[in-house]
Structure 1
Amino acid sequence: MSQQQKTLLPLGAALMAGGLSISAFAAEGSESSEAAVLPTIKVQTSAEEQDGYRATATRVGKKLQDPHDIPQAVTTITNQFMEDYQASSLRDALRHVAGLSFNAAEGGRSGDNMMLRGFYTFGDMYLDGIRDTAQYNREIFYMEQVDVLRGAGAMMFGRGQAGGVINQVSKAPHIGDRGKITGSVGMYGYYEMTGDFNKQITDTIAIRFNGMKRTEDSWRKNPAADDRASLDRDGFAISAGIGLNTANEFILSHIRTTTNDKPDFGVSFDATTRRPQERFPAKYYWGTNSNFDKSTVNITTASFTHRFSPDSEWRTQLRYGDYERSYWARTPSLTVAPNIGGTICTPNCNGGPTRAMDYETLAIQTDYNKKFQLFGMNHEFLAGAEYLNEDGFRHSLQNFGGTTAANPPLYRPYEINSAGNPVDFKSRTYAVYMQDTIEFIPKWKLTLGGRRDEMKAIYSNTLSPRLRYGEWSTRGALSYHFSDQSHFYVAYSDSFSPTADLYQLNVAPLPPERSQVKEVGAKWLLFEGDLALRAALYRADKQWERNTDLESTASVLTRKRRTDGIELEMAGRITPNWEVFSGFTVMDSEVRKVAVNVNPNTGALTSGNPAYEGERSRNTPPYTFNLWTTYKLPYGWRVGGGVEVKGKRYAYNPSGAGPIPTLPGETEFHPNTAPSYMRWDAMVAYEQPKWAVRLNVQNVFNKLYYDAVYDNGGFVIPGQRRRAIMTAEYRF
C-alpha cells in the first residue's frame, strides 16, 4: 500500500464517521439544546471517576456495566493501580493478574505475548473492544484501565482462545479542564515523561492529549562490547469529543507510538540440568548496539454513540490501524561467550532472528443494547455486527554482511530479504451476534447469546493458498443475585480460532481450534461496595491447538489440552485509607491428546509422541499469587508494597514424534524448566492536592528470577533486578 493510501484511509474513516455524527446533529437542529441533553444519563468513562483499585464500570461485556454484574471472571487494572505500581508498559500492568504468565518471542512474536489460564492471548488483545492482534509492544500512557475477561469470549469478541480477552481502554475526552505532568528518573538509565491534558471547549465539546517519552537500559550487559539491551519509546494520543453527555456523542482519536529498542533474548536452557544455564553469569547479554527493534504504530478511531434513552444505546466504531515493525535480535549461546561483534560461529555465524512486518486493519463494529420488559420479565438485550479486514506481510531481512567472524552478518531495518518467500495474507471476517439476559424471576437471570463468524483468507502459501471458515460461538449463564452485593453464577462459553495472521495452512485442511470453558463463580461487594471479592472454579478445554508460527512445519501443537483451576481475587478499599489488590490461582493443566499434523509436502499424517499425554502444559505455573497494598498515613504520606509469586513453568514442544525431554541418563519426563520465584516491590509517596512525589523500589531483595519463557524450550529471559524510580507529579 502506498504512503498516500495509508494517509487517506484513516482520514476517510474519520470523514465517514464524522458524516454520521453531523447527520445526527442536523436531525436535532429543530430541537432546543435543552432537549438534546439527557441529564439522567451518567457516562462513566474516565479513569479519574474510577479512583482506587476497585473498578465500577467496564465495557468488556459490550455495554457499560459494573464488572460485579458480569457472569464471568473479570479483573480490571485501574489507572490508580498502574500509577502506584509504577507500571510503564502493558506487560507491567498485567504482572499482577492471577494466572497470567509471559512468553518470549514464540514464532517471531516478540512483543506483548502472554498466557492466561495456560492459553495464548496473542489473538485476544483488544483496544476499546476492537481486535488489536498486531505484534508490538503496547504502552499504557493513554489507557484509563485494562480489563481481563477470563474464559472463551468469542461470543462477544469473535474468534478467540480459551484463556480470555485482554481489553485496553483508552482515555477519552470529558467535560472539565484538567491536566497532569509526571517525570520519573531511576536506576539503569530509567527516564520517563508523561502528560495528560483535557480541555473543555464548549458545554459539550472537549479535546484530550496524552504524551509519553521513556528510555531505560537493562541490567544485563555485553561485557566485550559494553552494550546493553535497552528501550527507547515515545508516543502521543489525541482525541476530540463532540456532544459529550448528550444523546449523540462523537469521538475521534488517533494514537501513535514508536520504539527504537535493543532486544534481549535472554539466556539458554542447559540440556544437562534442564534449567537456565549457569556457565555464564545471568548478567551477560549476547547482543550489541547493532541489534534493533523498531516499530511505528498508527491507530485512528471514530466512535459514534446515540442514546435513545438511559436504557437504550447504539454505538458504532470505525478504525484503521497500521503497524510497522522490524527487528534483529541476538539469541544466547551455551558455549560461546558474548563478544564485541555479537556473533556465534560454529563455524558459520548465525545471524539471529530477523523480521520486517507490516500489518494493516480496517474494522467496523456496531452494537445496540436495550433494557425492556416483556411478558413481565426484565430483558437486557444486545445485538451487533462486525467487519474486519486484515492485510499482513512479514519476511526476514537481507544480510548485507557475511557468515564468518571476519565478515559477520549485518542487517538493516526494513531491508527485506531478496531470497525466500514472505508470509503474506489478506483476510476478511464478517460477524453478527445477539445476546439477551432475562430476569425470569426476581433475583434470577439467564444469559443466552450466539455469534456467527464468516472468515475468508488468501495466503502466500502455494500449497494451500485459501482458508474459509464459518463457525458459531455461544455463551450461556445462570445468575442468582441474592442481594445487590452478592452474585452467584454458573457459566459456559465456547469459541473457535482460525485467525489468519496466526496460522499457516496445511495440504489437507484440519478443523479450527475450538475452546469450551465451564465456570462456577461468586462475587461479593463489601464495605458499601468499596471492596470487591470474587471466586471462580473453572475447566477450560481446547481442541486442535495451533502453533504460533506461520513458518513452522507443524501447525498443530496438541489435539486436546485442558486446564482446571480455581481463582480468588480481592480489589478495593478495606478502610478509607487502606487499598488492596490481590489474587491467587491454582492451575492443573495437562495435554489430553497429542498433535496430529499433515506433512506439507506429502500430505501424510504424523502424530506427536503419546508420552506427552498427561503431562503439564507449557508455561502454565501450577500456582500464582499477587498482592499489592497501600495505606494512607497522616500529613500526606502513603506507603505501599507487594509481592508477585509464580510456580515452575515448563518449556518444550509437545507436537514432536521424537523422544520426550528428560535429564541425561533418565527416562522420566523432565522438560526445560524456569524455576519458581517470589519478587517483592515497595512504594512510599508524599501527596498534596496539586503535586506529589513517589519512590518505587522494584525487586527489593534483588532476586534473580526468570520472567518470560520461550515455550518451545530454547531460552528464558531474566526479570528486572533491584531498581529504584523517583517520580514527581503536578496536577492542574
Structure 2
Amino acid sequence: MKPLHSACRLSVLSLSLAAAFSVCADNAIETIEVTGERQAYRGNFSHLQSPESLFEFDAELIEKTGVTGLTQVLDMSASVSRQNSLGGLWDSFAIRGFFGDENVPSGYLVNGFNAGRGFSGPRDVSGIERVEVLKGPKAALFGRGEPGGSINLVTKKPTFESSSEFELTAGSRAHRRLEGDVNAVLSKSVAGRFIGFYQEEDSFRDTIETQKHGVMASFVFDQSPDSTWHYDFEYAEQEIPFDRGIIAPNGNFDFMPIERFLGEPGDGPTTTMVHGHQLNWLYDLNNDWQLSSALAFRQTELDSLSSDADIAPSRQKLYLDFQTLTRQHRQRAYDTDQYVARFELAGDVTTGAIKHHIIVGVDYDRFEFDRDYRVARAPKLATNPTDAQLYAINIHQPVYGQHTPPTPSPVIVRQQNQWATGLYIQDQIALTDAFQVRIGGRFDWLKQTTDDKVRMQNASQSEQHFSPQLGLVYQFSDNWSLYSTYGEGYRLNFGTDYKGDGFDPNQSESIEFGSKWSLLDNNLDITLAYFDSEQTNIIVADINNPGFSAAIGQATSQGIELDVVGQLPADAQIQFSYTHLDAQVDKDSIDTGLGVAIKKGDDLLNIPENAASIQLSQQYSVAGNALSAGIGAQYVDERLGQRGTDFYLPSYVTVNLFAEYAISERWSVKAQVHNALDRKHFTNSYSQMWVQPGEPRKVLVSTSYQF
C-alpha cells in the first residue's frame, strides 16, 4: 500500500473517532443502563440448566492476550482446529473434527445471525464483546451451519455511560496498530458506539506485508420501557498476500527455512472488503414474553492473483531435482451478498406444576455467490517443458519476477444463489425442580440455483429438511447436573454433479452426554462431555464420472472434552480446554483435490487426537495500582497433513505471556509475548507442498488512554 494512502486512511479513522468523542462529551446524560439482553435463538438458561456444551471468550480475555484475529481466539478452544485457510485469505476451522466446504471460509454467526458468510478475509475481533463456541449440530435453531458446531460473535453494544478509549500498539516485525472505542450518549434514549482500527505489519515470511482497517458503529434506541432498537454497522478492508507456506517433502520440515516465500511478490496482495448492517427490535409483551425481529445485510468481495506450487506429480519438477518448483498462476474474483430476516417469540408458560420455556420463530436467509476462478497450469513433464513454461522458481535461491506469469483460463465462472426459509420451535419443559426436557425442531424450505458459465449449464435444486433436537437435564444439587442431547445439522453444498444437478446437503448428527459443575460460589464452571457424531454427504470425487464430484463421503468423530472457566481463589482467572478426539473417514472414496484414495479408518485432515489450551491470570496491586499478569499455553497433537499418505504435521507446544499495569486511572500499559519460547511449529497443511508454519516469537507493547 502507498504510504500516502495509509496516512490518509489513518487520518480519516482518527478524525472520525475524535468527532464521535466530541459528541460524547457534549451529551453526557444520566439515564438507566440496560445491563443484559436475551439472545435470539438461545433463550435464558443457566450453565447447569442447558443440555449442551458451550465455551466462551470474553473481550477482557481477548484484550489481555493481545490477539486480534478470530482464528487466534479459537486456538484457545481445544475443540476447534485450524483448516486450510487458502494461503491465509480467510478463517477456516473444524469443530469437534468436522469442517464444511474447504473451498470457502467457515461460516460463523454474528449476534445469532447466519451473517458471517462470505470472503471478508480473516476476521478482526475489535468490536467483539464475546466469542462463543457452540458445540454440536445446531440446525434445529440456527438452520444452516458448520457440521461440528457453530461460532457466534456477540458485538459490543452502546451503553448510557459516556466513555472513550484509544490504544496504540507496536511490536515485532514493524507491527503498528491504532484502535479506538468511543461510547457516546446522544440523548436520554439514544446511545452510539464507534470502534475503529488500523493495522500494518511485516511478516516473518520474506516479502510479506499486511494492512487492514475497519470501522464498526452501533446504536441503541430505547423507544419505551418495553421497546428497544439496535443497529450495527460493519466495514473493513484488508490487503493480504497469498502465501501457501513452505514445502516439506517426505516429512522433512527442515528442507527449507520457514521464512522463505515461494509465491510471486509481483502478484500484489489479495484485497478483501466487507460491509454489513444489522437491525434488531426487542419488544417485551409482558413480564413473561418477548418479541424479537431483525434484518441483516452483508456484502463481501475478494480479488486475488497468486502463484503457488502445483501439487500434481505429473507437472511438479521438484519431485525430480528437489530444487525447481513448478508453479501455477491463479486469479480469483469472488463477490457475495447475504440477506437475513428473523421473527421470534420467546416466553414462559406454566401448566399446573410444569413450566415451559418456549422459543418459536421464522427466519429467511438468501445468499448470492458470484465466483470467477481462473488457473494457468504448466505442461506435463513428459513434454520436456522449459523452466519458463513451468513458471518455475528455485526454492534454494529464489529469483522473483524471473518468468512472465502465464495467463489464467476460466475454470469456474458461476453464479450460485441459495434461499432458506425456516420455521423453528423449542420447548424446555421443567417437569420438576430438578428434571428438565428440551424438545425442538426446525423445518426448512431450501432452494439453490446455479448458472455455470463455463459448462453452459443451469441447475435448480429444491430441498425440504427437518432438523430435530432432544435434550435432558437432571440437576442433582445447586452445583451439579447431568445432561444428554441429540441434534442434527446440515448445510447446502456448492457446485453440481456430472448431470448438472445440485448436491444433496451435507448433514451431521450427534449424541452427547455430559456433566456440569458450578463451584466456588458459582464463580467456576466445569463441563465434562462425551460426544459421538457422524457426517454424511461430503463432497468427494465421482469414481464413475472422472472430473466430476459426488456428495457421497462420510466421516465419524467421537471424543471427550473438559472445559474449565472462571475465577479461582486468590483472585486468579482460568480458561482451560482439553479435547481427546478420534475423527476418521467412514467410507472409501477419492479426494477431489489430490485425486488420491481415501480409506475407511483414515484420519481426517488437520485434526489432532489430543489438544489442550490454558490461560491463567492473576491480579496484583503494585504502588497502589492494578497489575494483571498471566500465562497461556497451547498443545496440539500430531495431525494428518495430506490425505491418502502417512504425512503428519508434528505436535507442538506454544507459550504466551501477557501483563497489564494501570499507571493511573486513565493510562495503562500492556505487553504480550506470543510463542515466548520461540518454538518452530506448523499449524495446518493441505499437502507436503503447502505447509503453513506458525509465527516465531512476537513481542507487542501497547498503551491505552481512557477518558
Q: TM-score range by the shorter chain?
A: 0.7 to 0.9
| Between 562-571 and 112-121, the greater mean CA deviation after superposition | 112-121
CA distance in 2, matches of 1:208, 1:67: 30
- 1:708 and 2:684 equivalent? yes
- 1:613 and 2:582 equivalent? no
Counterpart among 631, 638, 645 of residue 635 in structure 2: 645
| Residue 366 of structure 1, CA deviation | 1.6
Counterpart among 196, 203, 212 of residue 211 in structure 1: 196
| Between 236-245 and 558-567, the greater mean CA deviation after superposition | 236-245
Name the structure 1 match of 2:259. 283
Q: Would the aligned equivalents of 1:328 and 1:355 in 2 still touch at CA under 8 Å?
A: yes
Report the residue type matching 2:148 in the other structure. G
Note the alpha carbon deviations across 1:561-592, whole angstroms, 9 max, x for none.
11110000111110252111111110011212
| Residue 674 of structure 1, CA deviation | 1.0
Report the residue type matching 1:232 in the other structure. Q
- 1:44 and 2:36 equivalent? yes
Report the residue type matching 2:443 in the other structure. R
Name the structure 2 match of 1:350. 328
| Residue 87 of structure 1, CA deviation | 0.9
SS at match of 1:267: coil
| Residue 457 of structure 1, CA deviation | 1.1
| Residue 685 of structure 1, CA deviation | 2.0
Name the structure 1 match of 2:12. none
Report the residue type matching 1:483 in the other structure. S
Note the alpha carbon deviations across 1:297-331, whole angstroms, 9 max, x for none.
00011111111134311111101111011122332
Name the structure 1 match of 2:22. none
Name the structure 2 match of 1:634. 621
- 1:697 and 2:673 equivalent? yes
Name the structure 2 match of 1:537. 530
Name the structure 1 match of 2:6. none
Name the structure 1 match of 2:444. 453
SS at match of 1:634: strand
CA distance in 2, matches of 1:463, 1:440: 55
CA distance in 1, matches of 2:112, 2:132: 10
CA distance in 1, matches of 2:230, 2:286: 19
Report the residue type matching 2:164 in the other structure. G
Report the residue type matching 1:445 in the other structure. Q
| Residue 244 of structure 1, CA deviation | 6.9
Q: Would the aligned equivalents of 2:450 and 2:495 in 1 still touch at CA under 8 Å?
A: no
Note the alpha carbon deviations across 1:10-45, whole angstroms, 9 max, x for none.
xxxxxxxxxxxxxxxxxxxxxxxxxxx9x8x96425
Name the structure 1 match of 2:382. none
- 1:432 and 2:428 equivalent? no
CA distance in 2, matches of 1:539, 1:69: 21
Label 1:398 to 1:533 Cα distance change in 2 as closer, same or farther (>3 A): closer
| Between 112-121 and 454-463, the greater mean CA deviation after superposition | 454-463
SS at match of 1:92: helix
Counterpart among 301, 315, 318 of residue 324 in structure 1: 301
Label 1:211 to 1:621 Cα distance change in 2 as closer, same or farther (>3 A): same
Label 1:200 to 1:406 Cα distance change in 2 as closer, same or farther (>3 A): closer
Name the structure 1 match of 2:136. 151
Report the residue type matching 2:141 in the other structure. M
CA distance in 1, matches of 2:209, 2:48: 40
| Residue 142 of structure 1, CA deviation | 1.1
CA distance in 1, matches of 2:216, 2:541: 30
- 1:528 and 2:518 equivalent? no
Label 1:262 to 1:559 Cα distance change in 2 as closer, same or farther (>3 A): closer
Report the residue type matching 1:641 in the other structure. I
5+ long unaligned stretches in structure 2: 1-30, 377-387, 392-400
- 1:469 and 2:463 equivalent? yes
- 1:574 and 2:544 equivalent? no
Report the residue type matching 1:423 in the other structure. R
Name the structure 2 match of 1:73. 53
| Residue 557 of structure 1, CA deviation | 7.2
5+ long unaligned stretches in structure 1: 1-36, 46-57, 222-226, 338-342, 412-416, 599-606, 654-659, 662-669
| Residue 60 of structure 1, CA deviation | 7.3
Q: Percent identity?
A: 19
Name the structure 1 match of 2:155. 170
CA distance in 2, matches of 1:254, 1:547: 38
Label 1:485 to 1:311 Cα distance change in 2 as closer, same or farther (>3 A): farther
Name the structure 2 match of 1:408. 404
Report the residue type matching 1:684 in the other structure. A
Name the structure 1 match of 2:413. 422
CA distance in 1, matches of 2:52, 2:541: 27
Label 1:377 to 1:728 Cα distance change in 2 as closer, same or farther (>3 A): same
Name the TM-score, length of structure 2 as normaliser. 0.83
Instruction: Report matched runs for 1:229-378 at 5 Å.
Output: 229-243=208-222, 246-270=225-249, 273-276=250-253, 278-290=254-266, 291-332=268-309, 346=326, 350-351=328-329, 353-378=330-355
Name the structure 1 match of 2:553. 559
How many residue pairs get aligned? The number is 629
Name the structure 1 match of 2:8. none
| Residue 288 of structure 1, CA deviation | 4.3
SS at match of 2:60: helix
Note the alpha carbon deviations across 1:201-225, whole angstroms, 9 max, x for none.
223210110000111221121xxxx
Name the TM-score, length of structure 1 as normaliser. 0.80
Instruction: Report matched runs for 1:647-726 at 5 Å.
Output: 647-653=637-643, 660-661=644-645, 670=646, 672-687=647-662, 688-710=664-686, 714-726=689-701
Report the residue type matching 2:703 in the other structure. A
Note the alpha carbon deviations across 1:88-107, whole angstroms, 9 max, x for none.
1111111101121111235x
CA distance in 2, matches of 1:544, 1:475: 20
SS at match of 1:441: coil
Report the residue type matching 2:461 in the other structure. L
Report the residue type matching 1:697 in the other structure. V
Q: Would the aligned equivalents of 1:430 and 1:454 in 2 still touch at CA under 8 Å?
A: yes
Note the alpha carbon deviations across 1:370-403, whole angstroms, 9 max, x for none.
112023211100011111111111113698xx96
| Residue 237 of structure 1, CA deviation | 0.5
